[in-house]
């Protein structure tokens, strides 16, 4: 699949990693639709990047909204070849407070709802649109890229909710690839390490410095462009399927 001939739907495309994916694909001649919250900067991005980018507002946790927004996004450029699911939330919460009181269950539910159920719901509607594509010379109709996290393997203190949601994303990638092979749709995932996005602002600077120091090499934050480049590679390299690729400079998270 060539980037320059493809249309990508990018959830969470108004900020951080999603915005980096949109910019990378557009720089390489592709087109994109930003799917993000109505309160996001999605419309400004579309205005800024011109005809190659459209914005469709959606809350991925609302099934009716997803059922409306995905077909609308697929119509924006007349087709959809790739879905990159970046929409996500992250905040820390220990399971019980210092005096042993259970912390609110809502925190866990919310992370699962946005990061896992929302990702799956957008994927099933997007796949439904992709099944109508004419297969290319290799028999390919589409590509799904799920954004997980290395916290899905080795979540730290306070990351039970986030880590569980991302472990779910890792866990659904292989069965999804197996389900969709019959349609010629590949499914890949990226597990980013410490990336320079607004999400990182939830962590203090000292903690971020420690994470960067723990990278094997290089000792820098990952960038949205690093993720965009990997998505572009997934598109062009049809032999990649059913795999989660760590994009983390070799970082292995420790207890905290
Ligand atoms: N930044 C990191 O270090 C890092 C590391 C590993 C994984 N990730 C993952 O990468 C993805 C992107 O994160 P980011 O760092 O770019 O964060 P970000 O906060 O910059 O972007 C997240 C985007 O998701 C959107 N979003 C949130 N809830 C939504 C909803 N209900 N419906 C639709 N859109 C919604 C937000 O509006 C925002 O535009 C997330 O899934 C995150 O878990 C980030």
Atom of ligand 1 nearest to the CA of 60: 32
Q: Tell me the pTM.
A: 0.98
User: What is the residue with the minimal CA distance to atom 32 of ligand 1?
Assistant: 59
What mean pLDDT value characterizes the chain? 97
Q: Is 126 in the pocket of ligand 1 (CB under 6 A)?
A: no
Atom of ligand 1 nearest to the CA of 114: 31
User: What is the residue with the minimal CA distance to atom 38 of ligand 1?
Assistant: 12
Q: Taking 80 as the threshold, does the pLDDT of residue 106 lie above it? A: yes
User: What is the residue with the minimal CA distance to atom 16 of ligand 1?
Assistant: 16
Q: Ligand 1 centre from 80 Cα, in Å?
A: 21
User: What is the residue with the minimal CA distance to atom 14 of ligand 1?
Assistant: 16
Report CA-CA distances (Å) from 104 to 88, 93, 95, 112, 160. 20, 9, 8, 14, 13
Cβ atoms of 182 and 215 within 8 Å: the answer is no
Cβ atoms of 81 and 1 within 8 Å: the answer is yes
Note the pLDDT tens digit of each residue in 187-205: 999 999 999 999 988 888 9
Q: Which domains does the chain carry?
A: 3-192+234-243 (3.40.50.720)
Tell me the catalytic residues: 162
Distance CA 117, CA 132 (A): 24
Atom of ligand 1 nearest to the CA of 192: 6
Distance CA 39, CA 36 (A): 8
Q: Is 86 in the pocket of ligand 1 (CB under 6 A)?
A: yes
Distance CA 231, CA 25 (A): 9
What is the predicted pLDDT for the residue at 131?
97
Q: Is 60 in the pocket of ligand 1 (CB under 6 A)?
A: yes
What is the predicted pLDDT for the residue at 203?
84
In which band, very low, low, confident or very high, does the pLDDT at 83 lie, cut at 50, 70 and 90?
very high
Q: Ligand 1 centre from 135 Cα, in Å?
A: 31
């Amino acid at each position: 699949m060539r980037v320059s001939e493809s249309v990508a739907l990018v959830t969470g495309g108004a900020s951080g990693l999603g915005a980096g994916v949109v910019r990378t694909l557009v720089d390489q001649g592709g087109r994109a639709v930003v799917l993000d919250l109505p309160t996001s900067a999605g419309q400004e991005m579309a205005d800024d990047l011109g005809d190659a980018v459209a914005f469709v507002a959606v809350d991925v946790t609302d099934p009716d909204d997803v059922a409306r927004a995905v077909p609308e996004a697929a119509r924006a450029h007349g087709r959809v070849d790739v879905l990159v699911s970046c929409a996500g939330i992250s905040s820390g919460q220990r399971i019980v407070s210092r005096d042993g009181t259970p912390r609110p269950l809502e925190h866990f539910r919310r992370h699962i709802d946005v990061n896992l159920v929302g990702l799956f719901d957008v994927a099933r509607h997007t796949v439904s649109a992709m099944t109508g594509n004419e297969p290319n010379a290799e028999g390919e109709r589409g590509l799904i890229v799920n954004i997980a996290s290395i916290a899905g393997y080795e979540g730290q203190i306070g990351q039970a909710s986030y880590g569980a949601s991302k472990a779910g994303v890792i866990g659904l990638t292989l069965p999804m690839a197996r389900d969709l092979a019959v349609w010629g749709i590949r499914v890949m995932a990226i597990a980013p390490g410490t990336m320079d996005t607004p999400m990182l602002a939830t962590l203090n600077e000292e903690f971020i410095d420690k994470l960067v120091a723990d990278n094997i090499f290089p000792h820098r934050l990952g960038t949205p462009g690093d993720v965009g480049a990997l998505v572009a590679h997934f598109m062009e390299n049809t032999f990649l399927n059913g795999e989660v690729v760590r994009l983390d400079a070799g970082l292995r998270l420790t207890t905290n």
